Structure 1
């Protein structure tokens, strides 16, 4: 197994951050052939999604999450910025992990798929992401 932790600066606003390039770089450095890439976010307020980016789907995801998890005072978890409790519910809907098959050293993603970090928590502008490659 080959593993590496990267740092991602998400800033203070909601974001869908494309990790695909970082994942590809990691697989090259690991000398990957066939196996499995596991991506893990060790945070209670962020998740990972395999989604199309650049055509508005990333913004649609954030809008849908805003509808499902509004940043208001309904949440019992109340520290941090207003509505922060919703950020702690996010990983139940957008899990903190993703596993992607690797074939011939490349992720076996569909044409429009990207591996993305989903972060709605403006209180934590820096995230860690653990990339692990397991050879098949």
Structure 2
């Protein structure tokens, strides 16, 4: 007998990974700084698989960095990218980036120019203010 293949009618709705976010910076559960504004934008030069993440108020660490993004799952991160704010090439690592329930953001970030380079993992978490 013949078996008919069943096509999936599931529609994949991408997560809106761009927006403005009101966030706080933590080390483990200790609040270190915040609130401050972070913006995520699509990197139009790199294509649809990259975003730019920026501390728009330039108060926490003055970072602007590119990261790989997966809009289907709302994930983003980079093994090593360089800050675009300073004239220096400061390395930045972002891991476990995620947009949660369309209105929350979480990511972990490390900085090369920290007291111990990449020695502290800061947790950035907050809520969407503008899409």
Fold match (TM-score > 0.5): no
Higher helix proportion: 1
Task: Answer with 1 or 2: which has the greater Rg.
Answer: 2
